[in-house]
């Protein structure tokens, strides 16, 4: 999943959390907090698991491989 997806989840969770606080609904506040935390965890795992994969550098043909 892309970073935009996880940022959307974080934004939705934060907006829902803010709405729930303004309405003073305890259950909705917890639902918003859970959505926000799930989005943050997903975003964190996306970046920390190497979303920006490096280009594989092929070995040089002219030099012998070192063992």
Per residue in 44-62, pLDDT (tens digit) is 777 776 655 545 555 666 6
What's the pLDDT band for 5 if we cut at 50, 70, 90? confident
Per residue in 10-57, pLDDT (tens digit) is 887 888 777 777 777 788 788 888 888 888 887 777 777 665 554 555
Q: Is residue 21 part of a domain?
A: yes
Six-digit token string for 38: 């799930």
Give the residue among 43, 20, 42 at the shortest CA–CA distance from 31.
Answer: 20
Give the residue among 24, 34, 26 at the shortest CA–CA distance from 12.
Answer: 34
Q: Is 39 exposed, middle or buried (0-12, 13-18, 19+ CB in 10 A)?
A: buried
Query: What whole-number distance in Å separates Cα of residue 12 and Cα of residue 6?
Result: 10
Q: Is residue 57 part of a domain?
A: no
Model-level pTM greater than 0.75? no
- Residue matched to tokens 């030099």: 63
Indicate the number of domains in the chain: 1
Q: Is residue 54 part of a domain?
A: no
Q: Is residue 32 part of a domain?
A: yes
Structural domain span for residue 26 = 3-46
Q: Is residue 67 part of a domain?
A: no
Q: Is residue 58 part of a domain?
A: no
């Amino acid at each position: 999943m892309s970073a935009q997806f996880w940022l959307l989840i974080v934004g939705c969770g934060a907006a829902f959390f803010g709405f729930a606080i303004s309405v003073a609904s305890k259950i909705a506040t917890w639902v918003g907090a859970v959505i926000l935390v799930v989005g943050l965890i997903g975003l964190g795992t996306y970046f920390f698991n190497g979303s920006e994969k490096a280009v594989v550098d092929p070995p040089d043909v002219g030099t012998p491989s070192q063992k």
